[in-house]
Amino acid sequence: MREKLTTLEQAAAAVKTGARLVMSANIQRAPMALLRQLVRQGTNQLRVIGVVGGDLNIDFLVGAGAVSVVDTCSVTMGEFARTGPNFERYVLGNRVRSLDNT
């Protein structure tokens, strides 16, 4: 049987610059170790698609400068903030393109 487990580094290496990432809005289950590895390896120009919104996951990648387009209905921090601070700053500063998919 083929081994299905992989290292964090190998999993992140499968995500190339310019890729599309689809994530859900769930602050409790954000794959932060993988997202941090993407930033460490220099992956950028990502198009992030938030299904049912986005949370810490999308805001983190935007703030790290890894995202060029966010396609979602919202980026919030749940009960902690109405709008993701990095997302808001980057959109208002024309540093990331935001597409509304409500």
- Pseudo-torsion of CA 65, 101, 83, 33, nearest 10°? -50
Decide if 9 is inside a domain. no
The span from the CA of 58 to the CA of 48, in Å, is 7
Question: Can you give the CATH number for the domain in which 33 is found?
Answer: 3.40.1080.10
Domain span holding position 92: 15-100
How confident is the model over 85-101, as pLDDT tens digits? Answer: 999 999 999 999 999 88
Q: Is residue 83 part of a domain?
A: yes
Contacts 24+ apart (CB under 8 A), 85-90: 85/59, 86/59, 86/60, 86/62, 87/54, 87/58, 87/59, 87/62, 87/63, 89/63, 90/62, 90/63
Average pLDDT over residues 30-46: 95
Residue 76: which pLDDT band, with cuts at 50, 70 and 90? confident
Averaged pLDDT for residues 13-42 = 90
Structural domains of the chain, count: 1
pLDDT tens figures, 2-16: 888 999 999 999 999
